[in-house]
């Protein structure tokens, strides 16, 4: 079957990232039939500006966002204490649908890339190779970047809970704060194991 035909490693011409000063390959180079499913903006994505932004703003910006998030919970809960709850079932359904579709698209780009790394590299290489070379550039790199910064709009989940006067569990807001901080730090430090976390997280939220 044509989709199973893998290009021999010695016939693949790696891309070169001048910013990261490293060569990297994309999944469609290993399986050419997949190339038609990639958009040009995915193929040509370079992470340098976004990684530099994460580095320059760590930890001030993510901590500020988490502080504002916590204040929103406290103030919002007090404002809604003696008010009628908002229904918002329609907007909530659309919001969850958008998040699921986003996660599904991210899963389609990151999981196959991770599986290809696992089957062509040793386990040590998959967890020790630099992020730029292993997964941080090109299409996979784009969806990793989108995952990292999607943790900001995902805070809107809690807005629905507060204004619908649903019970706000500790695990809910703790999860949002810690994941945002963890992702920002991992991206800023170019964690070599990041793709494992991103691929699993996309998959869980896509289901």
Q: Which residues are catalytic?
A: 175
SS (H, E, C) the chain: CHHHCCCCHHHCCCEEECCCCEEECCHHHHCHHHHHHCCHHHHCCCCHHHHHHHHHHCCHHHHHHHHHHHHHHHHHHHHHCCCCCCCCHHHHHHHHHHHHHHHHHHHHHHHHHHHHHHHHCCHHHHHHCCHHHHHHCHHHHHHHHHHHHHCCHHHHHHHHHHHCCCCCCHHHHHHHHHHHHHHHHHHHCCCCCHHHHHHHHHHHHHC
């Amino acid at each position: 079957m044509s989709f199973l035909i893998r290009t021999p490693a010695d016939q693949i011409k790696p891309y070169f990232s001048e910013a990261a000063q490293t060569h990297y390959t994309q999944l469609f180079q290993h399986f050419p039939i997949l190339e038609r499913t990639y958009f040009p903006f995915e193929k040509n994505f370079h992470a340098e500006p976004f990684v530099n932004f994460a580095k320059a703003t760590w930890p001030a910006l993510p901590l500020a966002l988490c502080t504002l998030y916590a204040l929103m919970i406290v103030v919002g809960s007090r404002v809604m204490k003696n008010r009628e709850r908002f229904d918002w079932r329609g907007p909530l359904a659309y919001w969850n649908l958008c998040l699921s579709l986003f996660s599904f698209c991210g899963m389609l780009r990151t999981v196959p890339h991770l599986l290809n790394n696992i089957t062509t590299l040793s386990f040590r290489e998959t967890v020790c190779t630099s992020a730029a070379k292993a997964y941080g550039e090109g299409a996979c790199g784009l969806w990793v970047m989108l995952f990292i910064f999607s943790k900001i709009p995902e805070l809107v989940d809690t807005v629905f809970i507060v204004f619908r006067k649903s019970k706000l569990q500790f695990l809910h807001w703790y999860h949002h704060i810690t994941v945002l901080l963890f992702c920002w730090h991992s991206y800023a430090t170019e964690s070599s194991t990041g793709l494992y976390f991103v691929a699993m997280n996309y998959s869980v939220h896509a289901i």
